[in-house]
Structure 1
Amino acid sequence: MPRAVSGAGARDLTELVRPLERALVLGDTAQATAMVEQALDAGSDPVAVLSGLLAPIQRRIGERWQRGEWSVAQEHIATGVSVAVTECVAQRVRQWYPVTRGRTVVGCPEREWHALPALMVGTALRRQGWEVTYLGAATPAERLSSHLQKLDPVAVAVSTSLAGGLPHARRFIEAATTVGVPVIAGGAAFGPDDARARALGATAWAASPQEAFALLERLPTTVDPVEPLPAEPLAEQRALELTHHRLVERVTQRWRPDAAEVVSGPWQSTDAESDLASVLHDCVEQPLRTLQGALITGDDRLVREVADWARTVLVERRIDDGAFADLGAELAAVLDDLPLAWSLLERHWAA
């Protein structure tokens, strides 16, 4: 049976912030799920638990990694606990709330492995009575197409956290709209407004599960297939995709920042050299992936965002700021036959 939200339950959420964050820090899945189950039993709304409690804590965990306070392993352990907590909430939602509305399909496009936001959105939609088919992380557009033919959903919700997933989000949108299904786009990669979602052909953009609820009520029954993307940016995006691994290898062979101080310093990691190698690889890979998203959305902000991210990651690990400028130069050097991508990098990397 549905549970009403009580005032006591709402207060419990405030009291849970510190202990729940501590459980995620320690990787204590049993303690984290027990606390959330107690809050739900006390009357807390599942959507409030996810969006008002767990999501902000998860964001802070990502910020700790970005600042160099946590290793990759620590961040993955905490995220694993968050996934377990969300699955616990999802199980309660399925038990307590009946399906009263049509079916939606929720998932992440290919190359998008950050499935937690999509799981939260799917759980929140199920709480509102929607039947939800959750596809999870890194779903190829072909797999989505096969599900759409069988399920005939009211809408598809696509979640993308990293800008490198935007080309595959476009393929998700193409697959859905080809059969007339409207698409709601969301996630950090789509930015603070609907510009990128609209550029990729999404029917609507939602900044939160609450916005997705309202949008689902207003979506058209059917939509036309998306218009083709502009030819020249699309050609460069596809060239970057095809040559991505070769370009990453070329940059990493030439860009070797001096990180001796980091490895010997107070950075909290049991294996600092391995973690740092992963971080430096991301600093090469993410800009090249992000350029693909910038090309097909026409949103220059993506390049500035990934540049700010790379600079922060390097500086917080005590790597000299000159390494950031050197990275930009090496990235530009491998883009000499891609004039649009080269121009985006030159105009926005150091800005």
Structure 2
Amino acid sequence: MGLVSDEELCLQDINYHLDYLEEAILNSSPELFSDYVLWADVLLKNLGLPEECLRGSLKSIERAIMKLADDEVADKASEYISGALKILETSHPSSGYLGDHPLRELAEEYLRLVLNTEAREARELIISSLESGIRVEDIYLQVFEPVQHEIGRLWQTNQISVAHEHYATSVTQSIMSELYPYIYSASERRNLKLVAACVNNELHEIGIRMVSDFFEMNGWESIYLGANTPPEDFSGIVSDLKPDLVALSATMTFNVSHVRHIIELLNELEDRPPVMVGGYPFNVDIKLWKKVGADLHAADASGAVKVAEEFLDI
């Protein structure tokens, strides 16, 4: 298997730019494209590419679209690209995601262990923390969540490889699977049902899994379907199970259209349950949830149960 040429890598990057631009235009969301450009700028700089590489690619895309696309699309693309380039001039990348909270030292130690491929020690750290009285909710919000964000930043800044990133995620998922005795014993059952999943093509599942577990800890029956859920299958199981609430997640911006498609399928059901959406793009554009046809949105796992129960008036 040969090495990928510089030309092929350049074309790959341009395709990424176009994917994100298309999704932003489809959702009338310049915020989504600007956020992607800021992310790509950090990534490319840390790969050693000159600063002008991204800017030049975007300007070339703009010129091509102005020549080839209809006026409406061309004007929108030009607006989004120009806006993103302007924001790029004043951007300041994050220096870290571990934050300032009571469990920061625990998060730092957990991060160190997973980056050193010490899965057994990482597991023991979390289990002993729970046995000492720390709540599952706090482990999720102050350890797992910021550590996952920090791992993503370390990959983006070329400090760890994709392999390290995948390993760290798999360790966290494995440990989460051991926490269900704590989760199931957290509260009494309340005769409420949630069906939750990542949309098709979406593989980032820790966030929606945390959401599902938070509902479980608040007395709901959470039916979590996992990553990359086929739309028709999802609609079918919702029809069969008749949940009180559906939760859909997309982490990658280019999967937002899949969220809309699944909601359109659910709209065909005779008794469609309310649909809550979440994931990174919905935090970037705070009106995006309405644009895809959802009923409600939660920014994170801690707020999801409160938002849902207020909406359902329970």
TM-score normalised by structure 1 residue count: 0.57
8 Å Cα contact 1:46-1:124 kept in structure 2: no
Secondary structure of residue in 2 paired with 1:112: coil
Correspondence list, 1:195-274, <5 A:
195-220=287-312
d(CA) in 1 for partners of 2:195, 2:161: 34
Count of residues in correspondence between the two structures: 211
d(CA) in 1 for partners of 2:187, 2:122: 23
Which residue pairs with 1:55 in the alignment? 145
Seen in structure 2, the aligned counterparts of structure 1 residues 186 and 37 have a Cα distance that, compared at 3 Å, is same
1:118 aligns with 2:208: yes
- The equivalent position to 1:88 in structure 2, one of 161, 172, 178, is 178
Secondary structure of residue in 1 paired with 2:201: coil
Secondary structure of residue in 2 paired with 1:219: helix
Please state how far the C-alpha of 1:89 moved relative to its aligned partner. 2.5
Which residue pairs with 1:181 in the alignment? 273
Query: Deviation above 6 Å: which 4+ runs of structure 1?
Result: none
The amino acid that maps onto 1:209 is A
Please state how far the C-alpha of 1:107 moved relative to its aligned partner. 0.6
> Which consecutive residues of structure 2, in runs of 5 or more, have no partner in the other structure?
1-100
Please state how far the C-alpha of 1:200 moved relative to its aligned partner. 0.4
- The equivalent position to 1:107 in structure 2, one of 189, 197, 201, is 197
1:19 aligns with 2:109: yes
Correspondence list, 1:125-144, <5 A:
125-144=215-234
1:149-176 deviations in Å (ceiling 9; x for gaps): 2211011111110011111111222233
Secondary structure of residue in 1 paired with 2:203: coil
Which residue pairs with 2:17 in the alignment? none
Farther-moved stretch of structure 1 (188-197 vs 38-47): 188-197
Please state how far the C-alpha of 1:26 moved relative to its aligned partner. 1.8
Which residue pairs with 2:158 in the alignment? 68
TM-score normalised by structure 2 residue count: 0.63
User: Percent of pairs identical after alignment?
Assistant: 28
d(CA) in 2 for partners of 1:63, 1:197: 25
Please state how far the C-alpha of 1:72 moved relative to its aligned partner. 1.0
The amino acid that maps onto 1:187 is G
The amino acid that maps onto 2:261 is R
- The equivalent position to 1:79 in structure 2, one of 158, 169, 181, is 169
What is the RMSD of the two structures over their aligned residues, measured on CA atoms?
1.9
d(CA) in 1 for partners of 2:265, 2:188: 29
The amino acid that maps onto 2:306 is A
d(CA) in 2 for partners of 1:69, 1:15: 21
Please state how far the C-alpha of 1:95 moved relative to its aligned partner. 4.1
Correspondence list, 1:266-345, <5 A:
none
Please state how far the C-alpha of 1:217 moved relative to its aligned partner. 1.1
1:168-210 deviations in Å (ceiling 9; x for gaps): 1112222333332111111102233431111000101110122
Seen in structure 2, the aligned counterparts of structure 1 residues 155 and 177 have a Cα distance that, compared at 3 Å, is farther
